Structure 1
Amino acid sequence: MKINQSVALVTGSNRGIGKAIVESLVANGAKKVYAAARTWDGKKPMNDRVIHVELDVTDQKQIDALVGKAGDVNLLVNNAGVVDFVDIINASEEQFQRNFSVNLFGMWKMAKAFAPIIEKNTGGAMVNILSILSFASMPVFSVYNASKAAAWSMCLSLRATLKDKGIRVLNVFPGPVDTDMISAVDIAKTSPKDVANSILAGLESEKEDVFPDPMSESVYDAWKKDHKQIEKQFASM
């Protein structure tokens, strides 16, 4: 898919990876970008091709309203996400509900709502921001791990279902990225800008999966060779 002249909708776009994706889309010639987030700070959009919209991906009424406003979309970027730091034994039902409602069901609701729009607009693509933790779990991210693993499985079904509708599904598996979400985690991190650029490069090169940083690339390569070793390595973190 060509980014130039595309019309994109990016969820969770007021900071971090989402904000970087919006900036990269504009820099690469996107015709229009709907930058969606639960709240905006009142600042003007960075560019006249960017339209700020308020959206909670767990709210079906807000999604339906956005469908009515963004009928020209041919690229959906499912980026909105949440994380709780808790081990599996001490995790609460509320934490499970919070992570799954955004990271899994929010993504599913957006895909379901905008697949007909993208198909109507002669096809396009759907990008799903997952995590390298879809493959192997770190105990402190227990609930987030589970939601992202479930989302990965769901995205494989999306790819199979949408293929004949002219909609490509690109799944993205970042490692640590320098965002507010994991600011307290002391680990080497990749910049959101580099991640965004890798995602757009993957879109234009017709990839199905993108590992946008050095850690995710190395972990995936090792996982393919010996997934049990990666499981043990992550379990000790």
Structure 2
Amino acid sequence: MDLSASTVLVTGANRGLGRALAAELLARGATVYAGARNPAQVDLPGAKPIALDITDPASVAAAAQATGDVTVLINNAGSATGTDLLTGDLDNIRLELDTHYYGTLSVVRAFAPQITANGGGAILNILSVLSWVSFPEHGAYCAAKSAQWSLTNALRLQLADQGIRVAGLHVGYMDTDMVRTVEAPKSDPADIARIAVDGIAAGAYEILADDPARQAQPALSGGVSALYPQLH
């Protein structure tokens, strides 16, 4: 795919991986809409800031109405409440699902017809290693990301005939504000952005961006004992 001839919408583009994705795309000659709940926070030269709260259907509809030329959609906007499924606030659990599952679905439903009308293109959903393996202390996030992975698989099948290639990017911890309190090895968001954009350009369906993702994927076929060796 020739990204220099593409118009891309990146959600959650005001910071972290979203900003890095927008910067990488701009460097490759793409036209970039940088979606953010507060577009004034978008500080990337060359990007076109656009108001977009993916949990607000009216905001999503307004963004679709304000564009019209999008050929690539990157669903990056996310939340991480650190909520335990058994003891955490149910409102936080709903927020994770509203963001990662319903929010992603809402944006796809709004922009897929636009991408098709413009001759087809691509959608990339930013997933996680935690789409595949769950940590109890982040149970709400893991559940929402697993749902988003299932959503990605379904949309991949449904949109193929419309000329839209749907990809998922799986990645572990990145050095962003979202996980600033986590003590673990973290990837540079700029490196992950480059890998993600390379994957879109190559037409990949599944992009494994780091070692944790590459290790988790084969463990899926090993069942519970491979994913959770602490269980006997």
TM-score (norm 1): 0.93
Q: Partner residue of 1:36?
A: 35
Residue 227, structure 1, aligned to residue 218, structure 2: no
Deviations 1:92-123 (A, max 9, x none): 21011111111110000000000000000000
Mapped to 1, the partners of 2:40 and 2:151 lie a distance apart of 33
User: CA contact under 8 A between 1:219 and 1:230: conserved in structure 2?
Assistant: no
CA gap of 1:228–1:42, structure 2 versus 1, over 3 A, is closer
Aligned residues: 231
Q: Check whether the contact 1:173–1:211 (CA below 8 A) recurs between aligned residues.
A: yes
Q: Which runs of 5+ in 1 are unaligned?
A: none
Aligned equivalent of 1:135 = 132
- Asked if 1 retains the 8 angstrom alpha-carbon contact of 2:71 and 2:115, the reply is yes
Gaps (5+ residues) in structure 2? none
Correspondences of 1:1-237 after superposition (within 5 Å): 1-30=1-30, 32-41=31-40, 44-47=43-46, 50-224=47-221, 226-233=222-229
1:145-203 per-residue CA deviation (whole Å, 9 max, x = no partner) reads 00111111111111111000000001111111111101100000101011111111111
Distance in 2 between residues matched to 1:103 and 1:193, nearest whole Å: 22
Aligned amino acid, residue 78 of structure 1: N
1:10–1:22 contact (8 Å) kept in structure 2: yes
- Whether the aligned pair in 1 keeps the contact of 2:219 and 2:227 (CA below 8 Å) is no
Secondary structure at the counterpart of residue 166 of structure 2: strand
**Match for 1:10: what amino acid?**
V
Whole-Å separation in 1 of the counterparts to 2:43 and 2:92: 34
1: CA distance, partners of 2:175 / 2:220: 23
| In 1: Cα distance, 2:19 partner to 2:102 partner | 22
Structure 1 residue 43: deviation in Å?
Answer: 6.2
Assess if the C-alpha contact under 8 Å between 1:137 and 1:234 holds in 2.
no
SS of equivalent residue, structure 1 residue 117: helix
**Alpha-carbon distance change, 189 to 93 in structure 1, aligned in 2, over 3 angstroms:** same
Identity across matched positions, percent: 34
1:136, 1:234 within 8 Å by CA — same for their partners in 2?
Answer: no
CA distance in 1, matches of 2:146, 2:53: 22
Q: CA RMSD in A?
A: 1.5
Structure 1 residues 164 and 102 mapped into 2: Cα distance closer, same or farther (>3 Å)? same
Residue 69 of structure 1 and its aligned partner are, at CA, apart by 1.3
1:37 and 1:234 map into 2 onto residues whose CA distance is 40
| Equivalent position SS for 1:140 | helix
Q: Distance in 2 between matches of 1:43 and 1:157?
A: 32
Q: 1:88 to 1:205 in 2, by over 3 A?
A: same
SS in 2 for 1:169: strand
What is the CA–CA distance in structure 1 between the aligned matches of 2:76 and 2:160, rounded to whole Å?
21
Cα deviation, residue 234, structure 1: 8.4
